[in-house]
Amino acid sequence: MSDRVVVAGAVYDQGRLLAARRSAPPELAGRWELPGGKLEPGESGEQALVRELREELGVETEPLERIPGEWPLGPGYVLQVWTARLVSGVPAPLQDHDELRWLGPGEGDEIDWLDQDRPAVAEAMRRLPAGSAPVESTPTGTASTRRLPGGACC
């Protein structure tokens, strides 16, 4: 039997990548991942991604391209990753996560990613689109992460 697919999104906005910190299960809690979830029967990867990001973060996204490759997770599961553009909404950790963070260029190694996500994250950071500076940037333009009370992000 073929492996079940977990889809995850490298979500971009304003030249930054969204990272999500898992709150469960205990063995993964506290580690960072690209948000997503399991493909349901009859769904394409892109459809599953849009659904999962809506459910978990409350945002609308547009998948852009698949990052080549597939990474084994636990027994019976593989991870596939798409880049995606934030279309509307403010990401909030509604399910499975307790914190979100936007990472700008050079900030990809600042958090403790799940090991299995690292190759896709490295490629997603290489593909980071140029973006306008976020509103709260410092005068030097170096501040690129923002965290809001309650865990909502940007």
Ligand X SMILES: Nc1nc2c([nH]c(=O)n2[C@H]2C[C@H](O)[C@@H](COP(=O)(O)OP(=O)(O)OP(=O)(O)O)O2)c(=O)[nH]1
The region of 36-44, 60-68, 104-112, 127-135 touching ligand X under the rule CB under 6 A is 36-44
Q: Does 13 participate in binding ligand X (rule CB under 6 A)?
A: no
Token pair in block for residue 119: 């190759």
Compose the 46-85 pattern: x for residues touching ligand X by CB under 6 A, - for all others.
------x--------------------x---x-x------
Number of residues that bind ligand X (CB under 6 A): 17
Closest CB to ligand X belongs to which residue? 37
In which element (H, E) is residue 37 found?
Answer: strand 36-38
61 close to 53: Cβ distance less than 8 angstroms: yes
The region of 29-37, 83-91, 101-109, 123-131 touching ligand X under the rule CB under 6 A is 29-37
Distance CA 83, CA 79 (A): 13
Which residues of this protein are in contact with ligand X, per CB under 6 A? 6, 8, 28, 33-38, 52, 73, 77, 79, 96, 114, 116-117
